[in-house]
């Protein structure tokens, strides 16, 4: 895999419209235009009461944007179940009326193209499409399939697949960068998302997005394609960064990192990467195009094995949340930006409230404090090492008692069985830190401790940042504690990552403004 060497990105942003009436379809076309689409794909098979002879002229003549006309039959995953002749007649009529593109299924394309000499005539471009359920299940080589599609005489070919693993997408990127004919190729679903987002990098003709209020499952909105990912700025030289995580869709990383790249003029894109198998992932995406990663749940500890070198702080913590592919030799270097991010977030909140811990000579407002940590995974390890480095006394709870014990040992703290958490009586001035995903969107109502003991903590920190103010923080504030949101940790760890990714200095104030306005 590699950069395909095209000049600036020529990818167009397309909105598929599955409207049920002609009026709605026309309205949706205008909405798509207003939201920044370059063209729309009209799924005629979704129209309820469709009369091609009268409706198509109205649709084509009212189009505010170029249109791709699709009339997908049931036998190819669409809704149309009438006779084939009428379906094809409708598509040909759309072409005669001036449609910009019509879509023909591979199974019928050759015959129709030949019979009507479609590749030679007029301005309408013919897209020959094929849906493959799981790219790995293909009996023939992918390049053979593409050759078959090309030989129909198509102007553009379109290949849609479902992905069961992110590594399968590398085949799509390879195809996109090497195909002789303009190609639309992507995988659907959460695991397939980056095939859409990175299409412009590898030379894809279209990237699909949905309009506001009419979201198509699995498709990013037009607004996020333009504002978050900035797809129009992506080109062959764009460096790819991503969050390796499972789940991954909760992350706000893309809406923070991408605008920041653009703000400083760095040619990078940051995408969510739903990863199931770390080894396979790193084996497949070894090209320099994939330049660095954030690492999220549940991989912060497991990923260390795949790093060629690990920074001493991350090594001692036993967790990596940032990986940079070293330019000179392609080696993966692991770092931890969570530790300082979380501890300074708590310290600064205490300092802002004037809690400098009695004696001004103490190095940190956390010195000597009891630090009750819930969750001994990657984020928990970073927090407890940070707390220890500030002289706090760490108590660890985790549903996996052995995991809690091993972390407690590493930070000279104490581990207690998880069942004791609800009745655990903290000391005066104690800090509670949640480093579990409890309370994270969409399971927002849960809190990791009991409401009765919550009032005994002076400071409560939650590493969860979606939502910004978790139920734990709301309850803790009501009980009188100083609360510190995971958003502050998120921002600070991202600043650290940005410096490592770009080798430059992150524009912290700009990033803070994004967090304040968009989170
Ligand atoms: O813990 C987090 C959050 C994160 O996983 C995200 O959700 O974007 C990104 C990681 O870099 C960071 O350490």
CATH code at position 19: 3.20.20.70
Give the 3-state secondary structure of residue 158. Answer: strand
The answer to whether residues 290 and 306 belong to one domain is yes
Residue 77, token pair as written in the block = 């995953």
- Assess whether the C-beta atom of 493 lies below 6 angstroms from ligand 1: yes
Look at the block and give the residue holding tokens 């193209």. 113
Domain count, the chain: 3
- Give pLDDT, residue 5: 35
Q: Other C-beta atoms within 10 Å of 418: how many? A: 16
d(CA 142, CA 32): 33
For residue 518, give the H/E element and its range. helix 508-518
Give the pairing of strands 322-325 and 332-335.
Answer: antiparallel
**Residue 331, domain member (yes or no):** yes
> Whose Cα sits closest to atom 7 in ligand 1?
251
Atom of ligand 1 nearest to the CA of 497: 11
Angle, CA 257 vertex, CA 256 and CA 263 arms, to 5°: 95
Cβ atoms of 184 and 173 within 8 Å: the answer is no
> Whose Cα sits closest to atom 6 in ligand 1?
251
Nearest to 422 by CA among 444, 441, 447: 447
The answer to whether residues 358 and 404 belong to one domain is yes
Domain boundary among 336, 369, 385: 336
Confidence of residue 362 (pLDDT cuts 50, 70, 90): confident
pLDDT at residue 343 above 60? yes
Domain of 293 in residue numbering reads as: 258-336
Atom of ligand 1 nearest to the CA of 322: 11
d(CA 385, CA 411): 6
The answer to whether residues 352 and 395 belong to one domain is yes
Please compute the mean of the pLDDT values over residues 304-319 and round it to a whole number: 97
Ligand 1 test: best mutation among 228, 298, 321, 345, most atoms within 8 Å of CB? Answer: 321
Please compute the mean of the pLDDT values over residues 488-499 and round it to a whole number: 98
Question: What's the 379 CA to ligand 1 centre distance in angstroms?
Answer: 9
Question: What's the 296 CA to ligand 1 centre distance in angstroms?
Answer: 5
- Assess whether the C-beta atom of 242 lies below 6 angstroms from ligand 1: no
d(CA 166, CA 136): 12
The answer to whether residues 441 and 457 belong to one domain is yes
The answer to whether residues 274 and 214 belong to one domain is no
- List, for residues 41-74, the tens digit of each pLDDT value: 999 999 999 999 999 999 999 999 999 999 999 9
Question: What's the 499 CA to ligand 1 centre distance in angstroms?
Answer: 15
Question: What's the 320 CA to ligand 1 centre distance in angstroms?
Answer: 11
- List, for residues 495-511, the tens digit of each pLDDT value: 999 999 999 999 999 99
**Residue 210, domain member (yes or no):** yes
- Give pLDDT, residue 355: 61
Question: What's the 289 CA to ligand 1 centre distance in angstroms?
Answer: 21
- Assess whether the C-beta atom of 296 lies below 6 angstroms from ligand 1: yes
- Give pLDDT, residue 2: 35
Q: What is the CATH classification number for the domain harbouring 304?
A: 3.40.50.10860
Q: What is the CATH classification number for the domain harbouring 402?
A: 3.40.50.720
> Whose Cα sits closest to atom 1 in ligand 1?
296
Mean pLDDT of the chain: 93
**Residue 440, domain member (yes or no):** yes
- List, for residues 257-275, the tens digit of each pLDDT value: 999 999 999 999 999 999 9
CA dihedral sign of residues 352, 358, 359, 364: negative
Residue 285 burial by CB count (10 A; 0-12/13-18/19+): exposed, middle or buried?
A: buried
The answer to whether residues 19 and 88 belong to one domain is yes
- Assess whether the C-beta atom of 466 lies below 6 angstroms from ligand 1: no
Nearest to 171 by CA among 144, 208, 150, 207: 144
- Assess whether the C-beta atom of 379 lies below 6 angstroms from ligand 1: yes
- Give pLDDT, residue 474: 96
Q: List the catalytic residue out of 95, 201, 252, 300.
A: 300
Q: Is 300 a catalytic residue?
A: yes
Look at the block and give the residue holding tokens 């639309």. 184
Question: What's the 380 CA to ligand 1 centre distance in angstroms?
Answer: 13
- List, for residues 278-300, the tens digit of each pLDDT value: 999 999 999 999 999 999 999 99
**Residue 497, domain member (yes or no):** no
- Assess whether the C-beta atom of 253 lies below 6 angstroms from ligand 1: yes
pLDDT at residue 7 above 70? no
Question: What's the 512 CA to ligand 1 centre distance in angstroms?
Answer: 16
**Residue 518, domain member (yes or no):** no
Look at the block and give the residue holding tokens 């390890």. 381
Confidence of residue 215 (pLDDT cuts 50, 70, 90): confident
The answer to whether residues 124 and 222 belong to one domain is yes
The answer to whether residues 274 and 198 belong to one domain is no
Atom of ligand 1 nearest to the CA of 297: 5
The answer to whether residues 422 and 332 belong to one domain is no
> Whose Cα sits closest to atom 11 in ligand 1?
294
Least confident of 39-48, 49-58, 135-144, 240-249: 135-144
**Residue 479, domain member (yes or no):** yes
- Assess whether the C-beta atom of 245 lies below 6 angstroms from ligand 1: yes
Atom of ligand 1 nearest to the CA of 463: 1
The answer to whether residues 316 and 348 belong to one domain is no
Please compute the mean of the pLDDT values over residues 153-162 and round it to a whole number: 94
d(CA 339, CA 345): 10
Domain boundary among 168, 199, 234: 234
d(CA 380, CA 436): 8
Cβ atoms of 68 and 41 within 8 Å: the answer is yes
- Assess whether the C-beta atom of 342 lies below 6 angstroms from ligand 1: no
pLDDT at residue 332 above 90? yes
**Residue 418, domain member (yes or no):** yes
- Give pLDDT, residue 382: 97
d(CA 105, CA 295): 40
> Whose Cα sits closest to atom 3 in ligand 1?
296
- Assess whether the C-beta atom of 336 lies below 6 angstroms from ligand 1: no
User: DSSP E strands: which ranges in 189-276?
Assistant: 206-208, 239-245, 268-274
- Assess whether the C-beta atom of 436 lies below 6 angstroms from ligand 1: no
Question: What's the 321 CA to ligand 1 centre distance in angstroms?
Answer: 7
* DSSP letter (8 states) at residue 392: P
- Assess whether the C-beta atom of 188 lies below 6 angstroms from ligand 1: no
Give the pairing of strands 370-374 and 332-335.
Answer: unpaired
Angle, CA 364 vertex, CA 358 and CA 365 arms, to 5°: 50
d(CA 286, CA 298): 21
Question: What's the 39 CA to ligand 1 centre distance in angstroms?
Answer: 35
Residue 216, token pair as written in the block = 């198509």
What is the percent of the chain with per-residue pLDDT over 70, rounded to a whole number?
A: 97
Torsion of CA 245, 251, 257, 262, to 10 degrees: 120
- List, for residues 448-472, the tens digit of each pLDDT value: 888 888 999 999 999 999 999 999 9
d(CA 206, CA 437): 36
**Residue 6, domain member (yes or no):** no
Helices (H), 368-438: 378-389, 401-410
The answer to whether residues 392 and 480 belong to one domain is yes
- Assess whether the C-beta atom of 340 lies below 6 angstroms from ligand 1: no
The answer to whether residues 389 and 319 belong to one domain is no
Atom of ligand 1 nearest to the CA of 341: 13
Question: What's the 93 CA to ligand 1 centre distance in angstroms?
Answer: 51
- Assess whether the C-beta atom of 321 lies below 6 angstroms from ligand 1: yes
């Amino acid at each position: 895999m590699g950069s395909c060497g095209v000049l600036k990105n020529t990818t167009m942003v397309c909105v598929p419209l599955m409207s049920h009436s002609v009026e709605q379809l026309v309205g949706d076309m205008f909405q798509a235009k207003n939201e920044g689409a370059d063209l729309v794909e009209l799924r005629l098979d979704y129209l309820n009461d469709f009369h091609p002879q009268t409706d198509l002229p109205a649709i084509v003549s009212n189009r505010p944007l170029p249109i791709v006309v699709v009339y997908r039959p049931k036998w190819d995953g669409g809704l149309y179940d009438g006779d084939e002749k009428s379906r094809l007649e409708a598509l040909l009529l759309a072409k005669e009326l001036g449609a910009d593109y019509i879509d023909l299924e591979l199974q019928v394309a050759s015959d129709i193209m030949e019979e009507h000499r479609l590749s030679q005539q007029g301005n309408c471009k013919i897209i020959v499409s094929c849906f493959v359920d799981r790219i790995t299940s293909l009996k023939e080589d992918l390049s053979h399939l593409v050759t078959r599609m090309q030989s129909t005489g198509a102007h553009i070919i379109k290949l849609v697949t479902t992905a069961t693993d992110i590594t399968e997408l590398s085949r799509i990127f390879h195809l996109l960068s090497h195909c002789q004919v303009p190609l639309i190729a992507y995988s659907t679903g959460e695991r397939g998302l980056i095939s859409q987002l990175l299409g412009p990098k590898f030379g894809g003709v279209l990237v699909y997005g949905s309009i506001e209020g009419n979201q198509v499952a699995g498709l990013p909105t037009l607004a996020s394609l333009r504002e978050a990912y900035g797809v129009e700025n992506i080109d062959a030289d764009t460096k790819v960064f991503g969050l390796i995580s499972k789940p991954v869709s909760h992350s706000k990383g893309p809406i923070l990192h991408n605008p920041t790249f653009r703000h400083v003029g760095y040619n990078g894109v940051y995408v969510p990467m739903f990863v199931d198998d770390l080894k396979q992932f790193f084996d497949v995406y070894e090209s320099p195009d994939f330049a660095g990663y954030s690492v999220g749940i549940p991989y912060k500890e497991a990923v260390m094995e795949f790093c060629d070198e690990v920074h001493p702080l991350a090594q001692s913590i036993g967790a990596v949340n940032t990986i940079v592919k070293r330019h000179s030799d392609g080696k993966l270097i692991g770092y931890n930006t969570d530790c300082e991010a979380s501890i300074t977030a708590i310290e600064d909140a205490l300092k802002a409230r004037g809690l400098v811990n009695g004696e001004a000579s103490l190095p940190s407002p956390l010195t000597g404090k009891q630090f009750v940590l819930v969750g001994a995974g990657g984020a928990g390890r970073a927090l407890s090492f940070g707390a220890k480095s500030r002289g706090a006394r760490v108590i660890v709870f985790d549903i996996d008692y052995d995991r809690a014990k091993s972390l407690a040992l590493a930070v000279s703290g104490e581990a207690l069985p998880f069942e004791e958490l609800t009745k655990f009586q903290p000391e005066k001035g104690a800090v509670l830190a949640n480093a579990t995903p409890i309370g994270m969107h969409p399971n927002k109502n849960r809190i990791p401790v009991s409401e009765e003991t919550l009032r005994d903590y002076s400071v409560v920190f939650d590493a969860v940042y979606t939502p910004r103010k978790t139920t734990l923080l709301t309850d803790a504030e009501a009980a009188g504690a100083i609360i510190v949101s995971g958003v502050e940790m998120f921002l600070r760890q991202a600043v650290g990552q940005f410096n490592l990714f770009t080798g430059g200095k992150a524009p912290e104030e700009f990033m803070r403004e994004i967090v304040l306005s968009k989170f």
